[in-house]
Structures are given as structure tokens and as C-alpha cells.
Amino acid sequence: MSILEEAKNISDILKEHRRYIHQNAEQHLELPKTAEYVMNTLRELGYEPERVGSSGVIAMAGGKKPGKVFLMRADMDALPIQEESGEPFSCQTGSMHACGHDFHTAMLLGAAQLLKAHEDEINGTVKLMFQPAEETLAGAKMMIDAGVLENPKVDAAMMIHVTGSMPLPTGTIMIPDAESGAAAADWFKISVQGKGGHGAMPDTGVDPLNVLSHIHLAIQAINSREVSPADVAALTVGQMHGGATSNVIPDTAMMSGTLRTLDNNVREFVKRRIVEVSESIAATFRAKATVEYERGCPCFEINEPLLKELSGYAKEMVGESGVWDMAEAKVKNKNMGSEDFSWVSVEVPAACFSVSTGSPEEGYQYPLHHPKAVFNESALSIGAALYTDLALKWLDNN
């Protein structure tokens, strides 16, 4: 029986994993229910999982034979979205697995079950990494700092991400072009200190809302007028706050946003210019601006030799008709989304794959991060098999 057939035989178990995690969606670094569920499931399978931080989890399969160490990552956190999917297992806590991290976690738990059944065949070690806080770009770095890539030292790594509403049949494995990793991300906050006062006497104060408006417009010009058209940058302000009523000039105001870049020189240039533009405009209006970079991650560097090798195994598993290879299709996609698995890619050779969870033609019209997003659970077995098959074959051949 093939690994794919074995994975399909446990599809009901995979659905149970996914639905529990989905219904109990949690955010950022603190995932008590999710982490405990993962820990308990791994213990039931015969593993000895360990906590990393408050909610990260690692476990090891194999190790009975000498060989290299292959790491597989699943992220576990959800988004601050009020779910509107209509699923009977919808989350009602104001969090939602609208990015498919419940799928990723269920898939890796499925892989853990399959690997345990084949543990005597593993030539080396498979390290399972269940990570919090991918959406907030804090989890992977936390786990790396805690030593997830050591003891035993990881030689290569991979991750799977699901996609929604793509024009590809459910279960299609998407192989990226090696140049289409993910953008570096920086989150910034701009605070303006003005001087509060009466709305009827604006000349006696310094209006931070006026200053913030000018800064907002000016930093948009960094991309359009200071970054070369040959380079790529996305600078987005996602929130602006200040004031509490209509007839009072507030003392302070703030806005925050994100910067995405594909080149480190562009990244550092734009970050510097955001500071310079904000401070100088604030000074012009007799206010003071402070720019803080709260968190971020580097570009995701896909290792081309590793991607090519793993892609060959994926095609063997599902056949040419079951994959969509961006390189073969000559699709160049500058991915401005970010993925904090990039911290792993900086340290060890890393690759990623995507699995389609439903096309518009199949009735899955809402994209990732949408409150009405629905995912086809038949893709779970494909992901579990992909994790397992690629790990076993890579360790057999390296």
C-alpha cells in the first residue's frame, strides 16, 4: 500500500483533528488548547513531544538508524476574524482559521501517524515542528532561538501551505518557482506627539491628526518616486487612530502598517526613508514623530536543489496530472506575502509546497483570509501523504 493510500485511510481522523483545531482557533503566541491537543495526540501516537515556549511543540520520528535530519513545519495560529463560513464547527470566539493553519496542523499530525507506522524504515530523523504565531511573524524565530534547529541539527526543511479559490482541482500540489519564495516583512508604527486643545481654537494646539495625514500621503510616494520601477515594494498602512470626540484636538495620534520587499537593500532604504519622512514632516508642523519597527522577517529563500529533488518525489506520488509546476508553466510570481518560515530558510536549505483546497468551479469562491472561506477537507490526506513521502524519500537518498 502506498503512503497516499495509507493517508486516505485515515482521512476521518484528519478531519477530526482539523475540526477541533478550527473550532478552537487561537491567535499569536498563546495557543493553550491547540498546543495541548497536539501534545496529547502525539503522546497517543507514541511520541515524546516537547514544548518550545508556551505553545510551540516539537517531536522526533525515527532516529533508530543513522542519517540526516529533515524538519517539517506546521503553523497553528489563527486570524482575528469573526467567522462567517457557516460550517457547523465554526469558531465563535472572534478568531478564525481563515488561512488554513488548521489544515497544516492536521496534515502534520497525520504525517506523524504515518511516520510512526514506518518508523523502522526511517533512515535518519524527522523533526516535527508545530509553530505558533506565524500570522504575527513571531513564532519561527522564537522556536529557532530556543534551539529547534539543533539537538539533533537539522539538515533540510520543508513546509506546506494550502490555497483557497485557486483555479486548480482540490488536492493539486502546487510547486513554486525557486525564485518565488516570499517577501521580507516589517511591521511599523508611527506615533505623533502634538498638543491637544479645543476644536474651536486650533491655533492654540498642534493637531497630530493633520500631521498624521500628511505623513500618510508622503510615505506612499517613497514607493512610487524613490524605489526603482525594476524593484518591488509594498507599503500599506492598515490602521490610523487618534482622538475620542469631534470638538477636541487630541494630544497624540498613531498609525501602523506593513512593508514588504524582495531585496534587502530596498528593504533597508525604505525603512530609513519612512523614519526620515515622518520625522521631518512632523517637525514642519511643530510636532514630533516616532517610528518603531515592531517585528518582521527576511525573504523566504527557496533552496533550488532541494525544491527540485522534493518536487520529483511529489510527482512520483501523485503523477504529473496531480501537480502544477510553476517553473514548467513558466509562471513568474513575485510573492509579496510573507512567511516567517523564512527564518528557517536562512539557516538551512528549505522548500515549500502548496495544496489546493477547492476551486471556484468546485464551489469554493472565497480566498484565504476571508470570513466566509470554506476549505475542501479531501485535501487533508494529500498534505499528510506529501509530508510523509517527501521526508522518507529525502532521508533515503541523502
pLDDT of residue 337: 84
pLDDT in tens, 44-85: 999 999 999 999 999 999 999 999 999 999 999 999 999 999
pLDDT in tens, 350-370: 999 999 999 999 999 999 999
pLDDT of residue 232: 86
How many residues make up the chain in this entry? 398
pLDDT at 228 over 80: yes
User: Where residue 39 falls among pLDDT bands split at 50, 70, 90?
Assistant: very high
When pLDDT is averaged across residues 174-184 and rounded to a whole number, the result is 86
C-alpha cell at 210: 493633520
What is the residue-averaged pLDDT of the chain?
95
Q: Give the predicted TM-score (pTM) of the model.
A: 0.92
**CB-side exposure of 393: number of CA atoms within 13 Å?**
18
CATH topology (fold) of 184-297: Alpha-Beta Plaits (3.30.70)
**So where are the chain's domains?**
3-180+300-396, 184-297
pLDDT at 331 over 90: no
User: Where residue 208 falls among pLDDT bands split at 50, 70, 90?
Assistant: very high
| d(C-alpha 162, C-alpha 14), whole Å | 15
pLDDT of residue 161: 97
pLDDT of residue 380: 98
Superfamily of chain region 3-180+300-396: Zn peptidases (3.40.630.10)
Q: Which is it for strands 156-163 and 68-75: parallel, antiparallel or unpaired? A: parallel
pLDDT at 335 over 80: no
Of the two residues 331 and 285, the one the predictor is more confident about is 285
pLDDT at 235 over 90: yes
Q: What share of the chain is helix, strand, coil (3-state, %, to 5)?
A: 40, 25, 35
Burial of 242 (0-12, 13-18, 19+ CB in 10 A): buried
pLDDT in tens, 306-327: 999 999 999 999 999 999 998 8
| d(C-alpha 210, C-alpha 224), whole Å | 22
pLDDT of residue 332: 67
When pLDDT is averaged across residues 366-390 and rounded to a whole number, the result is 97
